[in-house]
Structure 1
Amino acid sequence: MAIIYNCRHCGYEIGKLQQQFIDTAQLGWDQLSIEDRQKMIQYEANGDISIQSICENCQEALGNHPEYHELDFFIQ
């Protein structure tokens, strides 16, 4: 089973963890609200877990252009 972190804006694979057992508290998932967990964490049919996050480039773009927060998608 893999835990795959992808940028929700550009799709870039930020990182991948190969884990047999998951300690959700160690990964910080217990700090997320139920709504955020539903938006960010997807369980795939093959057993992998996909996490929607944000990469450094997209975070920098949002920091430089705060008006992008109003858009559903800011990368064309």
Structure 2
Amino acid sequence: MQIHYNCRHCQRQVGKLDRERVEISELGLECLNEEDHKEMITYDAQGNMKIKTICDSCERSLQQNPHYHELDFFIH
């Protein structure tokens, strides 16, 4: 199984893991509630996991422009 981390704002790939088996606790996802889990984690047809996260560039943009939090997507 591959695990893809992509930025929820710019869609840039942040990271990728290629593991046969992985425990949710290894990924730090056990602290997500059910709603966040549904919003942040999806699976493709091959069973690969896709996790929405935030890249460093978008994080800096959000810190410098707090009103961006109101937007689903923004250009930085």
TM-score by length of 2: 0.94
Shift in Å at residue 73 of structure 1? Answer: 1.8
Gaps of 5+ in 2: none
Cα RMSD after superposing both structures: 1.2
SS of the residue 1:31 aligns to: coil
> Percent identity at matched positions?
46
Residue 43 (structure 1) shift: 0.9
Q: Give runs of aligned pairs for residues 1-76 of structure 1, distance below 5 A.
A: 1-75=1-75
Give the Cα–Cα distance (whole angstroms) in 1 for the partners of residues 4 and 66 of structure 2.
27
The alpha-carbon deviation at position 72 of structure 1 amounts to 2.2
* Distance (Å, rounded) in 1 between the aligned partners of 2:67 and 2:8: 17
- Unaligned 5+ runs, structure 1: none
Tell me the alpha carbon deviations over residues 20-54 of structure 1, each in whole angstroms, 9 at most, x when there is no partner. 11110121111111000000000111111000000
